[in-house]
Amino acid sequence: MTGSIVARLELARDDFTLDVDLLLPGRGISALFGHSGSGKTSCLRCLAGLERAASAYIEINGEVWEDSASGYFQAPHLRPVGYVFQEASLFPHLSVRSNLEFGWRRIAPGERKVSLDQACQLLGIGHLLARRPATLSGGEAQRVGIARALLSSPRLLLMDEPLAALDGPRKREILPYLERLHDELEIPLVYVSHAQDEVARLADHLVLLEQGQAVASGPIGETLARLDLSLAQGEDAGVVFEGLVVGHDPHYDLLDLRLPGSSAPLLRIAHPAHVMGSTLRVKVQARDVSLALAADSASSILNRLPVRVRESRPADNPAHVLVSLDAGGNALLARITRYSADQLGLHPGQALFAQIKSVALLG
């Protein structure tokens, strides 16, 4: 299939059996999300050819890399992947520059899509070129690791928890660079993580792995809003939107974002002016959404969207219910008390107003 990533993998391990059939978009960031031991890293290693599954079919944008049925296995060094490991894993015997050029030198000049300057600029590492890896901070080293992977001009970028080994400030240092990759590169990226905030911020497509099985796979907005998944139960449960910047009120310093879809509503957030027509990713947490029968404008709530109830389910806390809503084609999640649900006479198809207490801008 053209324009997509197909990975059917079966792999028996001591502690679990990986058995997945993944179909990921051929562009953007797909996150493999799950607890440790769920098989995320094994999936990634199989894609790179670092591990050989008992049964495997791997096809990247129309190109078959592995097909165990016909005994075909492309050696890892022949697969155009860029792999970023959890630890930067720079070669200690080479300078930063030589590390960066390691993969770059090994591809034909005609196939080099990224230049050293571009990669340095993209990751802000131009000033580190002459240094030895041992002298770099964890965040710097990881940025070099990412740039090194990019410079091999991969057709698929794989990242295995690239932030997990870093502390909070170092994570915040790298995240903007990853977002730039997302915005500026055409390379599909498969990103393994067990941190929900990273996934919410970066991923376009989300695969939820549990004990070697892919229990869900879909666009990030929809998947986060699915009530049947464990994701909706968490304290941080919520949905993300890609909002199009359509207006700015200089007097109150409020930014207008239009959600995707033809009849989609506007979201207003307190934010300085931003480039018109650009997109911003925002997160709305389920616990910040309340529901009302009428649009009550007499409150401090900024965002009040007309929604339709899709379904509701008991939350893990018996006092609460989780409600999945449709806001002009966009999924929204609300966490309200069971008492309130009864007061509203909550039922599928019901038209309500969602009052959004806060919108978090991601990135």
Partner 1 sequence: MPLDASDLGAIWLTVKLASLTTLILLVLGTPIAWWLARTRSWLRGPVGAVVALPLVLPPTVIGFYLLIALGPHGWLGQATQALGLGSVVFSFTGLVIGSVIYSMPFVVQPLQNAFGAIGQRPLEVAATLRASPWDTFVHVVLPLARPGFVTASILGFAHTVGEFGVVLMIGGNIPDKTRVVSVQIFDHVEAMEYSQAHWLAGAMLVFSFLVLLLLYAGRRGKAGWS
Span interacting with partner 1, options 56-64, 72-80, 299-307, 331-339, rule CB under 8 A:
72-80
Q: Binding of partner 1 at residue 162 (CB under 8 A)?
A: no
Q: How far is the CB of 343 from partner 1 (least distance, A)?
A: 57
DSSP letter, residue 264:
P
* Closer of 90 and 224 to partner 1 (Cβ): 90
When binding is defined by CB under 8 A, the residue of 69, 75, 275, 298 that contacts partner 1 is 75
Contact flag: residue 166 with partner 1 (CB under 8 A)? no
Nearest to 224 by CA among 331, 311, 103, 138: 331
SS3 content of the chain, % helix, strand, coil (to 5): 25, 35, 35
| Alpha carbons 119 and 115: distance in angstroms, whole number | 6
Choosing from 68, 74, 89, 196, the residue that interacts with partner 1 (CB under 8 A) is: 89
Q: Tell me the DSSP string of 195-235.
A: -HHHHHHH-SEEEEEETTEEEEEEEHHHHHT-TTSGGGGST
Q: Which two tokens stand for residue 322?
A: 């989780």
DSSP state of 265: P
Considering only 118-126, 144-152, 293-301, 309-317, which stretch makes contact with partner 1 by CB under 8 A? Answer: 144-152
Closer to partner 1 by Cβ: residue 102 or 353 = 102
Q: Does 130 bind partner 1 (CB under 8 A)?
A: no
Contact between 257 and partner 1 by CB under 8 A: the answer reads: no
Q: How far is the CB of 181 from partner 1 (least distance, A)?
A: 17
Of the ranges 66-74, 86-94, 184-192, 258-266, which one interacts with partner 1 (CB under 8 A)?
86-94
According to the binding rule CB under 8 A, does residue 50 interact with partner 1? yes
Q: Can you tell me which residue has the tokens 């053209």?
A: 2
Residues 146-156 as b or e (16 or more Cβ within 10 Å = b)? bbbbbbbbbbb
β pairing state of 4-12 and 55-60? antiparallel
- Binding letters toward partner 1, positions 203-222, x by CB under 8 A: --------------------
Residues 92-111: x/- map of binding to partner 1 (CB under 8 A)?
A: xx--------xx--xx----
If the CB atoms of residues 50 and 360 are measured against partner 1, the closer one turns out to be 50
The one segment of 62-70, 75-83, 182-190, 196-204 that binds partner 1 by CB under 8 A: 75-83
DSSP assignment of 293-351 equals: SS---SSS--EEEEEEEEEEEE-SSTTEEEEEEEETTEEEEEEEEHHHHHHHT--TT-E
Half-sphere exposure of 155 (CA within 13 A, CB side): 17
Is residue 174 within 8 A of residue 163, CB to CB? The reply is yes
Question: Binding of partner 1 at residue 133 (CB under 8 A)?
Answer: yes
**Residue 93 CB, nearest approach to partner 1 (Å):** 4
Determine the Cα–Cα distance for residues 220 and 30; give it in Å rounded to an integer.
9
Q: Which residues are CB-neighbours of 121 under 8 A, at least 6 positions away?
A: none
Which tokens is 36 given?
Answer: 């440790």
Q: Which of 87, 222 has the CB closer to partner 1?
A: 87
Q: Does 351 bind partner 1 (CB under 8 A)?
A: no
Closer residue to partner 1 in complex, CB, 90/207: 90
Q: Which stretch binds partner 1 (CB under 8 A): 43-51, 180-188, 302-310, 346-354?
A: 43-51
**CB of 129 or CB of 362, closer to partner 1:** 129
Tokens of 353: 């107003």
Minimum distance from residue 99 beta carbon to partner 1 (Å): 9
Considering the complex, state which of residue 140 and residue 288 has its C-beta at the smaller distance from partner 1. Answer: 140
Does position 11 interact with partner 1 (CB under 8 A)? The reply is no
Interface residue list for partner 1 (CB under 8 A): 48-50, 75-83, 85, 87-93, 102-103, 106-107, 133-134, 141, 148-149, 152, 158
